[in-house]
Amino acid sequence: MLPPFKIFAGTKSEYMAKEICKDLGVELGKMNILHFADGEFEVSFEESIRGCEVFLVQSTFPNSDNLMELLLMIDAAKRASAASIIAVMPYFGWARQDRKDKPRVSIAAKLVADLLSTAGVDRVICMDLHADQIQGFFNVPVDHLYASSVFIPYIESLHLQDMVIATPDVGGAKRANNYAKYFDVPLVLCHKQRAKANVVASMTVIGDVKDKNVILIDDMVDTAGTITKAADLMMSEGAKSVRALCSHAIMSDPASDRVNDCSIEEMIFTNSIPYTGSCRKCTILSVARLFADTIRRVHENQSISSQYLI
């Protein structure tokens, strides 16, 4: 007999947890977060979770309170005798620091993985990690989902002719290549050189975009400097249109203004992060059903292979 399961949500991911619960036909668990005057906070579950399989829904986007909140949720669940604790992280933050690319820097993605393991997590469910190898930073099972399961049907609904798949930087070539293979269309690369973090110095297009409908693929958009520069460059090279598919809408200022002012016809995100900006070109696709189905399969010890379109 399977243990009962319950779903709880961190403060900034409650919107996602409610959608997941609605799809699963269950109630969102009751939890309280008490804030002290100095900024410290305390997490407590307001119902028994003894012997339960507990799913904690929380993306760890800035600020760091979201990560700390998740760590405290895991610790509280462990101390409340939960049978197992699964962190459901639609967006896994701190993932851009996945290696030492210069001397004397931290590897934050590994540190966060260690923090989650030390807190007591038994499994992690996440989506579109910045680098696939981050799965190996964990000593617990990681179910790495892909937003392609919602993006591909959306692309197909556009019925675009003369389509090409593109990536705004070489680092995303593997991800974009999977889409290009699926649709059997050409792949175009952008090569960029950065002046410093979040600042692009120069960019060149590798491939033919003339008279093509371009779909830019990326995992996250922060300040939107790279993706808007790539879109403008491709339009200057003769592209018919440029759309962008990006899993995580970090959208730090001045990203919304940049997207509004650039050549991108449409910017498509998932709701892994709550987007509160004002960008008339943004379309938000929900991944709640993807996570709900994965939670159901994990709880029932079923395969999740069918979740992967590419």
Residues assigned a catalytic role? 192
Which residues partner with 284 through β-bridges?
269
- Report d(CA 234, CA 247) in Å as an integer: 21
To the nearest 10°, report the CA torsion of 30, 31, 35, 36.
110
Tokens at 173, concatenated: 């070539």
Distance between CA atoms of 203 and 147, rounded to whole angstroms?
27
CA-CA-CA-CA dihedral for 281, 283, 284, 285, to nearest 10 = -160
**What is the rounded CA–CA span in Å between residue 13 and residue 125?**
14
Nearest CA-CA partner of 242 in 218, 203, 219, 216: 216
C-alpha–C-alpha distance, residues 92 and 70, integer Å: 11
Cα separation, 248 vs 147, in Å, equals: 10
Interatomic CA distance for residues 147 and 197, integer angstroms: 26
Phi, psi of 233 (to 5 degrees): -65, -40
